[in-house]
Copies of this chain bind each other. A is one copy, B any other.
Amino acid sequence: MQVRVQSEIFDMGAELNRFAERQVNAGAVVSFSGIVRDLATGGLKFMVIEHYPGMTEKALQAIAEDAVQRFQLYDAFILHRYGPLAPSDPIMMVATAARHRGDAFAGAEFLMDFLKSRAPFWKKEITSDDATWVEAREADEDALTRWKPDHSPD
């Protein structure tokens, strides 16, 4: 299990390969990568991600451990950037390894849902004449309910 927080850009393919090469006998590897999108109106100059050093690493570690235990993953990986990011830059990625694909997919979705709403990162979008904090989407908070123990899965 590995979590990393860095300002530097990263190579998602190289990270995926490193993750997959660490695995022993996992049949399924899933990755998710988040990428800086331009605004609907166009004109995004860059994005700035603020985080809470210290708490961030602990939160990511806890989320990764939780995913590994819940879905009997062989391994989980979380990488998240902070600081200024250009449009089309990778923001973050997660990867999971499991015996079968169902657990690898569920584990990756779980990582993303918790990372979105429970890890201390905040995005700000900078255009040539404006700087706006991204608002949390209600859908992201709602996504957490599906992982509650009393929520019967489909």
Closest B residue to A109 using CB positions: B105
* Number of this chain's copies in the complex: 2
- How many chain A residues touch B (CB < 8 A): the figure is 36
A48 an interface residue at 8 Å Cβ cutoff? no
What 1/0 flags go to A118-154 for Cβ under 8 Å of B? 0000000000000000000000000100100000011
A31 an interface residue at 8 Å Cβ cutoff? yes
* Inter-subunit contact B26/A17 (CB<8 Å): no
Interfacial residues of chain A within 73-90, with CB under 8 A of chain B in the complex? 88, 90
* Inter-subunit contact B27/A35 (CB<8 Å): yes
Interfacial residues of chain A within 81-116, with CB under 8 A of chain B in the complex? 88, 90, 99, 101-102, 104-105, 108-109, 112
* Inter-subunit contact B16/A12 (CB<8 Å): yes
What 1/0 flags go to A24-50 for Cβ under 8 Å of B? 011111111111011000000000000
